[in-house]
């Protein structure tokens, strides 16, 4: 069996909930929130070089297509891209990209709204970066 195929039959959680934050797989309709993040707080400039696909969004429709593509990538186990929500407000994105299913080896990336990033202390950044993930 192809190593990637074994993950097609595993249930991978679509939502991680904490006291204040929700990380979840994109849903139909999330494009409105993605586009709103690009438009506020000088995020287009802030995200250049980090998330050019968000910085370059031209419409809510384009953002909705992006969200739906990420849903499809998740289903095919190509990448796991999830939105980050603070209450009802979309504040960023996290992605886990399989680099080599035989190892398995993954790349993890993320971005967050400029204003939210400024509110998060450096110690919280370190705690987030030192977390571990398991696909077993």
Taken in order of first residue, the domains within the chain and their CATH numbers are: 14-129 (3.40.630.30)
pLDDT of 6 strictly over 50: yes
Residue 135: what pLDDT?
Answer: 45
- Omega of the bond leading into 104 within 30 degrees of 0 (cis): yes
Quick one: what percent of the chain has pLDDT higher than 70? 86
Asked whether 26 and 81 are in contact (CB, 8 A), the reply is yes
Average pLDDT, the chain: 85
Query: Could you say which DSSP state residue 9 is in?
Result: S
pLDDT of 98 strictly over 90: no
């Amino acid at each position: 069996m192809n190593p990637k195929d074994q993950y097609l039959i595993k249930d991978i959680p679509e939502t991680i909930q904490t006291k204040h934050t929700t990380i979840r797989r994109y849903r139909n309709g999330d494009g409105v929130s993605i586009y709103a993040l690009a438009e506020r707080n000088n995020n287009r400039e802030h995200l250049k070089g980090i998330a050019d696909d968000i910085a370059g969004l031209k419409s809510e429709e384009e953002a909705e297509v992006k969200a739906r593509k990420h849903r499809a990538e998740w289903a095919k186990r190509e990448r796991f891209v999830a939105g980050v929500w603070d209450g009802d407000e979309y504040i960023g994105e996290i992605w886990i990209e399989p680099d080599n299913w035989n190892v398995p080896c993954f790349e993890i990336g993320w971005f967050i709204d400029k204003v939210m990033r400024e509110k998060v202390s450096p110690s919280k950044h370190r705690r987030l970066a030192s977390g571990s993930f398991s696909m077993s």
